[in-house]
Structure 1
Amino acid sequence: MNAPVRRLIKPTTPRTVHLLNIRSLASPVQAEASTEADFVRLAALCPTVRQVVAQPCTLQLSSGQYTPDFLIEFHSSETSYWEIKLASRFDQYRPLFNEAAQQLGKQGLRFYAVSNVSLRKHDRHRFAALLQRYERDQPSAAGIERVLDRIRSEPLGLPIRALVELASVPCELIYHLLARRQLTFKNRVSPDDLITLPNLLEKSDDVLLASWLDVSPWRADAGIGPGAARWKTCP
């Protein structure tokens, strides 16, 4: 497991720290809030993601030090940085995000800020958690092959219910294949989205994950709302 630069799990920690051991990721991931755990579960479903690293580094900014929540490594070797924040605190942290995005941008790296509202839109965080429950199932090889054969003949994708009926398998098998990333979502994590094969996706790397979460790379010149306060250096 990649050790965070700021220690999250220790005997005196007064809060719940999540340790997520998800097979599709290269190593376990620590998350110090439920929203961060939601993000990791969603990112783990994205077929372009290789690893999620918590508290990966500390940036030296003009007003102090800042440690992003996550670094994501993709199978293409591309990387990007991600911050998870409550929507109500975005204005307060906007100057920090601006400077972080500017510094990382000079290195050719993208920075994203994701709110709890985006993570939990349409209860996608709950669906991601449900799918992860089936990751370690061991369905029959014959059932898996029926599903994959069927989806190969549908390049535009199929809804989960249709795939269940056409392949004559339980929905739990589809959940397993989604959790293991043998199948994936065409547009976003949703029980109503079209299911397809990962190699048929048009988007790649962080662009795919960002589209799932309805976010874009943070612009270094993003404005400050009227209620914004001067940000304080993170400990």
Structure 2
Amino acid sequence: MNPARPVVTRSPHRRVGYIPCPWLQSHHVAYESLLECRFVRIALLYPPLREIFHQPFRLDLGKLGTYTPDYLLRCASHDDVVVEVKPQQFLSKHVDKLRAAKVAIEGRGLRFLVCTEHEIAANGRDERAGVILRQARSHLPRELVEDLLARLRNLRFPMSVSSLAERLDTRRDRIHYLIGRRELHLAPSLSDTRVFNGTDKECHDGDFSARAWFGGANW
């Protein structure tokens, strides 16, 4: 693996930028398209995530040239995931290179997934992720957050956001803040109907596996 190329330059043809997430890591997460931006919002809510890197390395694929994946997700228990974010209409054009990259990446003990708009925007979950992350970037007094977290320990999960807000006698936006700040978790749909207060072990089972959370295009 070689260092990735420099990224995120202004372009008149695509959306580029950075997403700050100081509660998770010190460096911003870059994106070079609106689809990548929508993916990052969902990835930042993935319970096992510990750190995320944009264009983390470059692979030499021989006759197929070089390949730079879009994201590397460092996760709990070293169950790391490499993700290619690609519009569905372009998959067939790049299928040989993606298959070769999959072999090379999985040969290094990493999981490789390809995510398209179908997985990212399934049932509007990317929009829900955006709402949650806007709340996460707001400010709540530390004393209030600590009080909410202390009272969470006596509750039985999962439950809905509305039920949790009622049990804690607080507002829904504050529950979204805790979800965005990764104190609470949602199922992969990011629906408000199921909120979890899970451990790292639980985050590797069932709903919180990489395949369940991110899906993966058939290619």
TM-score range, shorter chain: 0.7 to 0.9
Partner of 1:8: 7
Q: Deviations over 1:170-189 (max 9, x none)?
A: 1010010001000111x214
Change (3 A) 1:169 1:177: same
Query: How far apart are residue 210 of structure 1 and its match?
Result: 3.0
Query: How far apart are residue 81 of structure 1 and its match?
Result: 0.9
Query: How far apart are residue 151 of structure 1 and its match?
Result: 4.2
**1:58 paired to 2:44:** no
- Bigger drift between 87-96 and 133-142 goes to 133-142
Mapped to 1, the partners of 2:79 and 2:129 lie a distance apart of 24
Query: How far apart are residue 79 of structure 1 and its match?
Result: 2.5
Q: Deviations over 1:13-36 (max 9, x none)?
A: 333312111123322111000111
Code of the residue aligned with 1:204 in structure 2: it is H
Mapped to 2, the partners of 1:78 and 1:204 lie a distance apart of 9
Partner of 2:115: 114
Partner of 1:19: 18
Unaligned runs of 5+ in 1: 225-235
Q: Give the alignment of 1:126-137 within 5 angstroms.
A: 126-137=127-138
Partner of 1:42: 42
**1:134 counterpart SS class:** helix
**1:22 counterpart SS class:** coil
**1:172 paired to 2:173:** yes
**1:211 paired to 2:212:** yes
Give the number of the structure with larger relative contact order, counting CA–CA contacts within 8 Å between residues 6 or more apart.
1
Deviant stretches of 4+, over 6 Å: none
Partner of 1:231: none
Change (3 A) 1:214 1:79: closer
**1:36 counterpart SS class:** helix
Query: How far apart are residue 111 of structure 1 and its match?
Result: 0.8
Which has the larger share of helix? 2
Change (3 A) 1:8 1:200: closer
**TM-score of the two chains, using structure 2 as the length reference:** 0.85
Q: Name the Cα RMSD after superposition.
A: 2.5
**1:68 counterpart SS class:** coil
Change (3 A) 1:171 1:112: same
Number of corresponding residues: 212
Mapped to 2, the partners of 1:103 and 1:60 lie a distance apart of 9
Partner of 1:90: 91
